Amino acid sequence: MLNIFLPRGSRRRQLVENLLCEPKVPAHIARNFKTLSDGDMQLLTESLRRNFFSKDPEGYLSTEIGRRDLCDHLTGRLEGDRKLTIPWLDSARPLKDARVLEIGCGTGTSTVTLAEQGAKVTAVDIDDKALIDARKRCELYGLTVDFRKMNSTDVARAFSKEAFDFVIFWASLEHMTHEERMIAMKETWDMLPLGGLWCVTDTPNRLYCYDYHTAMMPFFFWLPDDLAIKYARFSSRQALRESFPDYDGDKETMLRFLRWGRGLSFHEFELTMKPLGQLSIVSCMSMFHRRRGAFPFLRARASAAYRYESFFHTMYPEVHRGFLQPSVNLIIRK
């Protein structure tokens, strides 16, 4: 999701479409982009339908939302990552020949964007069916990736003897329980060699005033879990609204709710890594693109997101601006 505060409805969609076309991708990155033939795209579509979208309640893929979701898994996320995330990561350290551990690869769109730049990628995920699609996707793109089925809490033990240049949590920390998140953050930070880059991208910010990820409601991430799961009945997202109508404290129901996604904030970083003042934060993605001159309205003082960021930075200057964005997208050097 873009690191911005946008109006809702058609105006929001139009702004997103315009913005995604705006960033100029460096030539040394753009020349590595690979394209699938129509036949290969059809094979990938069939794989996604057969695996990741195999549970198709009430014809989800025949609805407008379902069709957009499938399109997003085919090309939408790929193009967004190529234009936004890859130039940002590459600016901190060239991805070519870099050793990358990607945690939470999903169906492999982000994995493709890393591997096509020449990175040596090890990608892990806990979802069997997503991994099948990720392998198929990389095969169709002609890319070699080491895929592993693994829980994030087992990563450090599995790769304790390997040295990675990047450890990247790609839109995955928000879907972990708090205990899983703390273990995964601490252990991957500890295993990272000095000078290595620990990265988080596309993870909603618990401190931001609007939840664009899970409930599409203001202040949702500020609520304690027991209150949030009950309040989810007011969400505009039908699937979320109807998933937890009679929550009575059942642990399995709460776990399913947490898997939908809960926000992250600087507090986990201080507890698992170092105090904020000692963390070497290399870059924040939205600030990186702001300096490049992309998304000019983000710099405008009239921007709601910019005003929010500036207000809290004035009150708490010790908190890095990267923790005041709608999403947490940070590169931290050990």
User: pLDDT of 202-213, one tens digit each?
Assistant: 999 999 999 999
Report how far apart, in Å, the C-alpha atoms of 270 and of each of 53, 203, 279, 316, 322 are.
Answer: 37, 17, 9, 16, 14
CA-CA-CA-CA torsion sign (275, 277, 280, 281):
positive
Which of 144, 128, 130, 124 has the alpha carbon at shortest distance from 34? 144
> What is the tens place of the pLDDT at every residue in 268-300?
999 999 999 999 999 999 999 888 876 554 444
Q: Is pLDDT above 90 for 57?
A: no
Instruction: Read off the DSSP letter of residue 128.
Output: H
CA distance 160 to 158: 6
| Confidence at 125, pLDDT banded by 50, 70, 90 | very high
Which of 80, 1, 91 has the alpha carbon at shortest distance from 33? 80
Please report the beta strands in the chain, taking only residues with DSSP state E, as ranges in sequence order.
99-103, 120-125, 146-149, 166-170, 197-204, 210-211, 217-218, 280-284, 327-333
CA distance 170 to 248: 32
Amino acid in position 16: V
| Confidence at 58, pLDDT banded by 50, 70, 90 | low
Instruction: Read off the DSSP letter of residue 146.
Output: E
pLDDT of 15 reads: 44
> What is the tens place of the pLDDT at every residue in 147-169?
999 999 999 999 989 999 999 99
Report how far apart, in Å, the C-alpha atoms of 227 and of each of 158, 224, 240 are.
Answer: 37, 5, 14
- Structural domain boundaries in the chain: 214-260
Q: Is pLDDT above 90 for 304?
A: no
- Number of Cβ within 10 Å of residue 15's Cβ equals 16
Tokens of 333: 């050097």
Please give the angle made by the CA atoms of 324, 264 and 134, to the nearest 5 degrees: 115
Mean pLDDT of the chain: 90
